[in-house]
Amino acid sequence: PLTDRIFITPGVLVIIDPEHNDENDTIGVGLLRTQFNF
């Protein structure tokens, strides 16, 4: 946690054969999830 009320969580998504098409390349997506507790 950054503070007692702010949290950041990393994540990765990997999409294999987008749209169920073998000719489409695999897609990798990185993300950061931020949570604020009030």
Dihedral sign, Cα of residue 14, residue 16, residue 18, residue 19: negative
Q: What is the mean pLDDT of residues 14-28?
A: 96
Strand partners, 33: 9
pLDDT tens, 3-12?
999 999 999 9
**pLDDT value at 1 more than 90:** no
Model confidence, pTM: 0.62
How far apart CA 11 and CA 31 sit, in angstroms, is: 5
Burial 4-31 (b: 16+ CB within 10 A, else e): eeeeeeeeeeeeeeeeeeeeeeeeeeee
